């Protein structure tokens, strides 16, 4: 909402429309009559999805179908936010957009099934897969690390999951361009470069001038209910064919830290 200018943009919260409610979704879409709908809403608690699969599929897959059906009814285009977790993480080179999905978690399955259903229902929709989002004003990895680092001499962070941290502001700019360029199909939209969570945490602590030691640990040592892909770097090749380039995650982190400082 902050990034978009020059167009009329309506922001809808879960209170305005629960995407599981097809009738309500159609009502709000008919009222707004948008040219584009950006669907970012989802049940994003990856571990919660393991214990609440019904809620996860109802929101992430069926809710997305409800929004796509409403978009179709009013002739709106759709950008659907999807995830690197649709892949199994067994590769060691970046995933291209056309590679086979093989999600390992309930959350990943909900997103993979949503993608398939949306492409059937609305072949010209745009699916923007992203990863490891962070941004000001909400709970995110850098914010958690900084809060913990302020009170602890050492932090343990997993060093066997590799991905691309992505600044919400940069993703928002990419989404706006996708709409302006009438993009269709699957695109990967992440900040450039990759790292492990440990390397990301080290950079956050170092860039903030904190003395906290960051120690690498394995995913096994920090067991979580949902499995995470060991490698989920997404290739920007398709995004580049659309003339869209995203900055490096190092640059994005620097801007995030400046913005966080300004807002504190
Ligand atoms: N975070 C990541 O690292 C990441 C990575 C890859 C892809 N993505 C995707 O990017 C998108 C944004 O992620 P995020 O991390 O910014 O999400 P988030 O902070 O968890 O926000 C999700 C939003 O969806 C709303 N929502 C949840 N269930 C809903 C429902 N049934 N009806 C209507 N609204 C509902 C929530 O509203 P309430 O707060 O009111 O419940 C919340 O405002 C999601 O589609 C996510 O799957 C995220």
Cβ contacts of 26-33, under 8 Å, gap ≥ 24: 26/66, 26/69, 26/70, 26/73, 29/67, 29/70, 29/71, 29/73, 29/74, 29/76, 30/70, 30/73, 30/74, 33/74, 33/76
Q: What is the 3-state secondary structure (H, E, C) of 46-59?
A: HHHHHHCHHHHHHH
d(CA 137, CA 140): 9
Residue of the CA atom closest to atom 5 of ligand 1: 131
Residue of the CA atom closest to atom 2 of ligand 1: 133
The pLDDT tens digits of the residues spanning 173-206 come to 999 999 999 999 999 999 999 999 999 999 999 9
The predicted pLDDT at position 53 comes to: 98
Q: What is the 3-state secondary structure (H, E, C) of 108-157?
A: HHHHHHHHHHHHHHCCCCEEEEECCEECCCCCCHHHHHHHHHCCCCEEEE
Q: Is 184 in the pocket of ligand 1 (CB under 6 A)?
A: no
The structure tokens listed for 16 are: 């305005």
Residue 231 in contact with residue 171, Cβ under 8 Å?
no
pLDDT in tens, the chain (264 residues): 999 999 999 999 999 999 999 999 999 999 999 999 999 999 999 999 999 999 999 999 999 999 999 999 999 999 999 999 999 999 999 999 999 999 999 999 999 999 999 999 999 999 999 999 999 988 999 999 999 999 999 999 999 999 999 999 999 999 999 999 999 999 999 999 999 999 999 999 999 999 999 999 999 998 899 999 999 999 999 999 999 999 999 999 999 999 999 988
CA angle 241, 246, 249 (to 5 degrees): 145
Residue 39 in contact with residue 117, Cβ under 8 Å?
no
Substitution site in 14, 42, 67, 132 for ligand 1 pocket (most atoms within 8 Å of beta carbon): 42
Which of 25, 17, 14, 115 minimizes the C-alpha distance to 61? 115
Straight-line distance from the first to the last Cα atom of the chain, in angstroms, rounded to the nearest whole number: 21
Substitution site in 49, 95, 108, 133 for ligand 1 pocket (most atoms within 8 Å of beta carbon): 133
| Distance in Å, CA 42 to ligand 1 centroid | 4
Strands, E, within 115-262: which ranges? 126-130, 133-134, 154-158, 162-163, 166-167, 185-188, 195-196, 213-217
| Distance in Å, CA 209 to ligand 1 centroid | 31
Which of 193, 140, 139 minimizes the C-alpha distance to 162? 193
The predicted pLDDT at position 45 comes to: 97
- Output the furthest CA–CA distance in the chain (Å, rounded): 56
Which of 47, 43, 15 minimizes the C-alpha distance to 28? 15
The predicted pLDDT at position 11 comes to: 94
The structure tokens listed for 247 are: 């900055």
| Distance in Å, CA 226 to ligand 1 centroid | 17
Which of 99, 89, 46 minimizes the C-alpha distance to 233? 89
The pLDDT tens digits of the residues spanning 50-86 come to 999 999 999 999 999 999 999 999 999 999 999 999 9
């Amino acid at each position: 909402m902050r990034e978009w200018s020059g167009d009329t943009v309506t922001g809808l919260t879960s209170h305005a429309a629960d995407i599981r409610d097809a009738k309500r979704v159609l009502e709000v879409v008919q009222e707004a009559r948008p040219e584009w709908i950006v669907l970012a809403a989802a049940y994003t608690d990856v571990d919660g999805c393991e214990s609440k699969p019904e809620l996860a599929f109802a929101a992430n897959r069926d809710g997305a179908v409800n929004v796509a059906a409403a978009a179709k009814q009013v002739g709106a285009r759709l950008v659907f936010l999807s995830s690197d977790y649709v892949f199994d993480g067994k590769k060691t080179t970046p995933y291209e957009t056309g590679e086979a999905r093989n999600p390992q978690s309930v959350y990943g399955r909900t997103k993979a099934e949503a993608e398939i259903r949306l492409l059937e229902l609305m072949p010209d929709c745009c699916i923007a897969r992203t990863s490891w989002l962070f941004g000001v004003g909400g709970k995110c990895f850098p914010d958690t690390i900084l809060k913990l680092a302020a009170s602890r001499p050492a932090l343990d962070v997993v060093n066997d999951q590799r991905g691309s941290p992505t600044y919400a502001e940069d993703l928002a700019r990419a989404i706006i361009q996708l709409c302006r360029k009438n993009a269709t199909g699957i695109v990967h939209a992440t900040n450039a470069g990759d790292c492990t969570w440990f390397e990301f945490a080290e950079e956050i602590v170092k860039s903030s001038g904190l003395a906290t030691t960051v120690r690498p640990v394995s995913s096994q040592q920090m067991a979580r209910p949902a499995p995470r892909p060991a490698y989920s770097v997404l290739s920007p090749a398709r995004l580049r064919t659309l003339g869209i380039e995203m900055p490096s995650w190092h640059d994005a982190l620097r801007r995030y830290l400046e913005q966080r400082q300004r807002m504190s």
